[in-house]
Amino acid sequence: MAPTIDKLRQDHVNLARLLSILEQELAEFDAAGTPDYDILLSIAEYFLIYPDKDHHVREDLVYRRLLLRNEAAARRVGDLAQEHKGIARRVRKFATIIGHVLTDAVVQRTTVHGALSDFVEDQRRHMRMEEEFLFPAALNALTDADWSEIEGQIETFSDPLFGTDAETRFAELHQSLQAMASQDHPNS
Ligand SMILES: [Fe+2]
Ligand SMILES: [Fe+2]
The tens digit of pLDDT for each residue in 27-81 reads: 999 998 889 999 999 999 999 999 999 999 999 999 999 999 999 999 999 999 9
How many angstroms separate the alpha carbon of residue 112 from the centre of ligand 1?
24
Residue 156 belongs to a domain: yes
CA of 63, nearest ligand number = 1
Counted domains in the chain: 1
Residue 122 belongs to a domain: yes
Tell me the CATH number at 177. Answer: 1.20.120.520
Residue 30 belongs to a domain: yes
Whether this prediction's pTM lies above 0.85 is answered by: yes
- Residue 152, CA atoms < 13 Å, CB-side half-sphere: 6
CA of 127, nearest ligand number = 2
How many angstroms separate the alpha carbon of residue 116 from the centre of ligand 2?
19
How many angstroms separate the alpha carbon of residue 186 from the centre of ligand 1?
32
Is residue 84 pLDDT above 70, yes or no?
yes
What pLDDT score does 166 carry? Answer: 82
CA triplet 145, 150, 156: central angle to 5 degrees? 135
Instruction: Tell me the mean pLDDT in the region 100-112.
Output: 89
How many angstroms separate the alpha carbon of residue 14 from the centre of ligand 1?
13
Residue 124's pLDDT band (cuts 50, 70, 90):
very high
Is residue 187 pLDDT above 70, yes or no?
no
Residue 80 belongs to a domain: yes
How many angstroms separate the alpha carbon of residue 94 from the centre of ligand 2?
19
Instruction: Tell me the mean pLDDT in the region 80-97.
Output: 94
Residue 187 belongs to a domain: no
CA triplet 183, 187, 188: central angle to 5 degrees? 90
CA of 16, nearest ligand number = 2
Residue 112 belongs to a domain: yes
- Across all residues in the chain, what is the average pLDDT? 92
Residue 184's pLDDT band (cuts 50, 70, 90):
confident
Query: Cβ(142)–Cβ(69) under 8 Å?
Result: yes
Domain holding 171, by residue range, is 3-181
How many angstroms separate the alpha carbon of residue 108 from the centre of ligand 1?
30
CA distance 186 to 188: 6
**72 or 105, which is more confident?**
72
Rg (CA), the chain: 18
CA triplet 4, 165, 3: central angle to 5 degrees? 10
Q: CB neighbours of 159 closer than 8 A, spacing ≥ 6?
A: 50, 54
CA distance 13 to 127: 10
Residue 188 belongs to a domain: no
Q: pLDDT over 90 for what percent of the chain?
A: 79
CA of 128, nearest ligand number = 2
Residue 74 belongs to a domain: yes
